[in-house]
Amino acid sequence: MKIFIGADHKGYSLKQRLSAMLKDQGHEVTDVGTHSEDSSDYPDYGLQVARAVAEGRADRGITICWTGNGMSIAANKIAGVRAGLCLNEDMAMLTRAHNDANVCSLASRYVTPEDAEKIVHVFLSTVFEGGRHRQRLEKIAAAEKK
């Protein structure tokens, strides 16, 4: 799977760990930054990940900041992106199964590195259920076109 990953300074350490894990699992990982713990702006990285997903250069995206909210907000500004904040495995499963999320936003403040690995695994392995959930996504897609 092609995965783009990005984080601000507060998510840098977790991004490094998850990037290594994903590469070890055979995924094609593109790290858009940041590349240090120096202060940086989350939209710079969240928007890059979101654009890659929206343009089809990535199958999925992962964004990480302190609370996960800033990255989620930024990513969701790009049409076609459905970024979901995932604080646990259940949220990861439901945001994929019900919302067909294509970007997983993580909170380095609230999620341990071990739990983040589990969350990402669930996010990447869960299939969208379709059915009644599809019509809801169609409403969101129509709103994006207005």
- In whole angstroms, what is the distance from residue 31 CA to residue 33 CA? 6
Active-site residue, 65 included: yes
Of the residues 65, 86, 121, 133, which is catalytic? 65
Q: What pLDDT is attached to residue 146?
A: 87
Overall average pLDDT of the 141-145 stretch: 93
Return the closest-CA partner of residue 84 out of 104, 63, 70, 65. Answer: 104
SS3 84: strand
| CATH code, 98 | 3.40.1400.10
Active-site residue, 98 included: yes
- In whole angstroms, what is the distance from residue 114 CA to residue 1 CA? 21
The residue segments making up the domain with residue 51 are 2-145
Dump pLDDT digits (tens) for 19-75.
Answer: 999 999 999 999 999 999 999 999 999 999 999 999 999 999 999 999 999 999 999
Phi, psi of 20 (to 5 degrees): -60, -45
C-alpha dihedral sign at 110, 126, 1, 118: positive
Of the residues 9, 27, 98, 133, which is catalytic? 98
Edge-to-edge strand ranges of the sheet holding 103-107:
28-31, 2-7, 60-65, 103-107, 83-85
